[in-house]
């Protein structure tokens, strides 16, 4: 089913790419758990499907919906967020190229760029992406092909001005990539602010139920490869280059995973409203607690990223980070909560707590991206907020 951008977000999330099944009338796209498709004569493909690595109707529905919600040209669904990132990096970069990365990037992204692409002679420079001048200074003219942005960042929740960074990147002939996992397209649409491609770990808020691993890329209309390069299909189109590698390398989302992710996407709007309402209450409570030394949440008026977030986002998200003064206190807090489950990942309906320095960001220890060892990250779920506040109050009182 097609939608237009005058429809509201929740309407598009439910209907874009999700017409009732023409055979049965099923209102939910079926799970096409199939590997291959009958052809009407050699090369006579029905609706373009021949083999499910190349395309699958359930995956197509998800990709169409994501592209619509991000105001993009084409969507691509992957087996994980890192598979999506890897495909994008290899589609764009060549040996000798350079990437600017956030100085507090997600540990898995940094590991992929520094330790995997580094062996392919791709260099990187960390920069404080809240400072456009620092990003410009980190760019190496003629070598920098990507500026990689997380906003808000993981786990310090710094907020970068996407429109300003797109101008910096484009002046240097580089692409601007925005990891939109924390904000989701419900709260932020980077492609409308000048980004060339959006990346998601759909494991997180898009899936939303901690029951599926996945990733996605959405390319901007008319986005081209940097430096006038021609991709493997003979065009300069970024979407064509990504699409070729999506199929050629094959790290695609399976049909059941795509179906689960699409199911989550349908309720993204209502979930994000509850996530961010709860997160603001949690952040306000923590900001006034004597056992907490600092709180990172762009929804707080005194947060350094508040003004930019208020301008380019439609809300402030469901992640709150806090510092408690020492690694020992942070570990004790992580062990003391009842409703906040100690676990990696984020964005599910349940609340989670973790210690980034020893868990999700252990891979950046000793680097310029090392995170404080007393930093605790909360993924605030959609439980009753009074229960969450009581859980944190009890845990903090026991430190």
**Could you report the per-residue pLDDT of 75-94, keeping only the tens digit for each?**
999 999 999 999 999 999 99
Residue 23: predicted pLDDT:
84
Residue 366 banded pLDDT, cuts 50, 70, 90: confident
Residue 5: predicted pLDDT:
66
Whether 4 shows a pLDDT value over 90: the answer reads no
Residue 361: predicted pLDDT:
86
Tens digits of residue pLDDT in 194-231: 999 999 999 999 999 999 999 999 999 999 999 999 99
For the domain spanning 9-265, the CATH number is: 3.40.640.10
Residue 102 banded pLDDT, cuts 50, 70, 90: very high
Residue 376: predicted pLDDT:
98
Can you name the residues that pair with 301 across neighbouring β-strands?
A: none
Task: Kindly list the domain boundaries of the chain, sorted by start residue.
Answer: 9-265, 269-397
Residue 2: predicted pLDDT:
55
For the domain spanning 269-397, the CATH number is: 3.90.1150.10
Which residues carry out catalysis?
A: 53, 106, 179, 204
Give me the chain's average pLDDT, please: 96
Residue 308 banded pLDDT, cuts 50, 70, 90: very high
Would you call the peptide bond into 173 cis, given omega within 30 degrees of 0 as the criterion?
A: no
Tens digits of residue pLDDT in 284-299: 999 999 999 999 999 9
Whether 99 shows a pLDDT value over 80: the answer reads yes
Residue 360: predicted pLDDT:
81
């Amino acid at each position: 089913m097609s939608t237009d951008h005058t429809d509201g977000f929740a309407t598009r999330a439910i209907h874009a790419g999700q017409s009732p099944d023409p055979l049965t009338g099923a209102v939910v796209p079926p799970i096409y758990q199939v590997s291959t498709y009958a052809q009407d004569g050699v090369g006579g493909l029905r609706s373009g499907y021949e083999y499910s690595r190349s395309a699958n109707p359930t995956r197509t529905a998800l990709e169409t919906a994501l592209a619509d919600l991000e105001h993009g040209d084409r969507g691509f669904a992957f087996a994980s967020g890192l598979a999506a990132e890897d495909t994008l990096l290899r589609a764009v970069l060549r040996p000798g190229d350079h990437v600017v990365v956030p100085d507090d990037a997600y540990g898995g992204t940094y590991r992929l760029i520094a330790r995997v692409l580094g062996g392919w002679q791709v260099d990187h420079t960390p920069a404080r992406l809240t400072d456009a001048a620092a990003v410009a200074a980190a760019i190496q003219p003629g070598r920098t092909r990507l500026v990689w942005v997380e906003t808000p960042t993981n786990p310090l929740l710094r907020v970068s001005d996407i429109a300003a960074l797109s101008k910096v990147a484009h002046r240097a002939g580089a692409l601007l990539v925005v990891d939109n996992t924390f904000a989701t397209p419900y709260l932020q649409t980077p492609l409308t602010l000048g980004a060339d491609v959006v990346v998601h770990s759909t494991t997180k808020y898009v899936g939303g139920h901690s029951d599926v691993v996945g990733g996605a890329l959405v390319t901007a209309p008319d986005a081209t490869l940097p430096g006038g390069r021609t991709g493997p299909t003979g065009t300069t189109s970024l979407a064509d280059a990504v699409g070729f590698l999506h199929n050629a390398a094959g790290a695609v989302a399976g049909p059941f995973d795509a179906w689960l992710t699409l199911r989550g996407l349908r309720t993204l709007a209502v979930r994000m409203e509850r996530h961010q309402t709860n997160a603001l209450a949690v952040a306000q409570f923590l900001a006034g607690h004597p056992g907490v030394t600092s709180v990172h949440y762009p929804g707080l008026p005194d947060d350094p990223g508040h003004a930019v977030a208020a301008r380019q986002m439609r809300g402030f998200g469901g992640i709150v980070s806090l510092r408690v003064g020492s690694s020992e206190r942070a570990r004790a807090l992580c062990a003391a909560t009842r409703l906040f489950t100690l676990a990696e990942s984020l964005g599910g309906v349940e609340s989670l707590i973790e210690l980034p320095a020893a868990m999700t960001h252990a891979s950046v220890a000793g680097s310029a991206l090392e995170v404080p060892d007393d930093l605790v990250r909360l993924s605030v779920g959609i439980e009753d907020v009074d229960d969450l506040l009581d859980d944190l109050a009890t845990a903090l009182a026991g430190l």
